[in-house]
Amino acid sequence: MIGILVAVTAIAGVVGTGIGGLIGALLQKDSNRMVSLLLSFAGGVMLSVVCFDLVTEAIDTGVGVGIVIAAIAVGVAVIFLLNHWIDKRTNPEVPHIDENHPKTADDLNELIHSDHFEQHYAKKDNKFAMFVAGVVMACAIALHNVPEGMTIGASYASNGGAMGSAAIVLAVLIGLHNIPEGMAVSVPLISGGMTKWKAVLMTAFSGVPTILGALLGFWLGDIGAMGLALSLGFASGAMLYVVFGEILPQAILMYHSKLPAFSAIIGMLVGILIIYV
């Protein structure tokens, strides 16, 4: 039972990110338009799954709407605070991020802090500095991947330990969403001088937190109605922050057009179809 969850989540997290890293290594460039539309579409579907499936399942546990709302709020707050802390500690190390820089990331590399790692690699800093920069990048990506994995794990638990349609859809979406993230990790690493195979391996490894999130979500969801409600609520809140605070703004910043908005709306409609048809 756990093996299926781990395998599916590994494909979504590690393989999805690794494919993105491989594409980035082969092309050494990315298409802002393609990445933007892919991100916004995935964000729209995730929004539908969170609002029309995960949150409703959390409420249906019967623990009370107030507890579910509180769990969602905690999920939003935790991811925001962790993201803010990482930004505050690492932004001063990147030359172009100064007092004139927008208060939010204006590049996908900034969002996952691969630009921070690139600075250390380009300067040929000592191994400890490189290790710390790698940990920071892994933590930044984990802020996305852990709650994404939790949604799969919690959905898996709510379906009685079976890989239901919602969990499968989430896994596919997370895998697609991780492809542009993987591209954003590998391209600057290779540009900074890292070998292609090493950059791809490091990129794939950055998807491991998705598995940890899935196990955490399943464990919480398997300990009773309260645990399931808290797991679903926390994961939903974290995902809402990632979608509204990062994925959709980043999609629009990467491609200045109305198309990302339409792509997100189409994603929401597709999500509704998946859930109710």
Tens digits of residue pLDDT in 238-248: 889 888 987 88
pLDDT of residue 1: 65
Q: What is the pLDDT of residue 125?
A: 72
18 vs 34, more confident: 18
Grade residue 237 by pLDDT with cuts at 50, 70 and 90: very high
CB contact set of 147 (below 8 Å; sequence gap of 6+): 75, 79, 213, 234, 235, 238, 239, 242
pLDDT score, position 92: 75
Name the percent of the chain lying above pLDDT 90: 10
Backbone torsion region of residue 49, taken as left when φ is above 0, otherwise alpha when ψ lies between -120 and 50, otherwise beta: alpha
Question: Residue 145: which residues within 8 A CB-CB, separation 6 or more?
Answer: 13, 174, 178, 206, 207, 209, 210, 213
State which residues form the domain around 250.
2-276
- pLDDT over 60 (residue 132): yes
Closest CA to 169 of 14, 52, 61: 52
Query: Confidence band (pLDDT; 50, 70, 90) for 131?
Result: low
Q: Is the pLDDT of residue 138 over 80?
A: no
Count CB-CB contacts under 10 A for residue 113: 25
Number of domain units in the chain: 1
Q: What is the pLDDT of residue 68?
A: 94
Q: Could you give the residue ranges of the DSSP H alpha helices within the chain?
A: 2-10, 16-27, 32-49, 55-60, 65-90, 108-111, 114-122, 127-158, 165-191, 196-205, 209-221, 225-242, 248-254, 259-276
Question: pLDDT tens digits for 195-227?
Answer: 888 888 888 888 888 898 888 888 887 777 888
Q: Is the pLDDT of residue 166 over 70?
A: no
Two structure tokens written together for 179: 């492809």
Q: Which residue has the tokens 């590690």?
A: 14
∠ CA(175), CA(184), CA(145), 5° rounding? 40
> Is residue 30 scored above 60 in pLDDT?
no
What proportion of the chain, given as a percentage, has pLDDT over 70?
84
Q: Which of 55-64, 187-196, 222-231, 250-259 has the highest mean pLDDT?
A: 55-64
Q: What mean pLDDT is reported for the chain? A: 80
pLDDT at residue 151 in the model: 80
Output the CA angle 147-172-81, nearest 5 degrees. 20
pTM of the predicted model as reported, rounded to 2 decimal places: 0.77
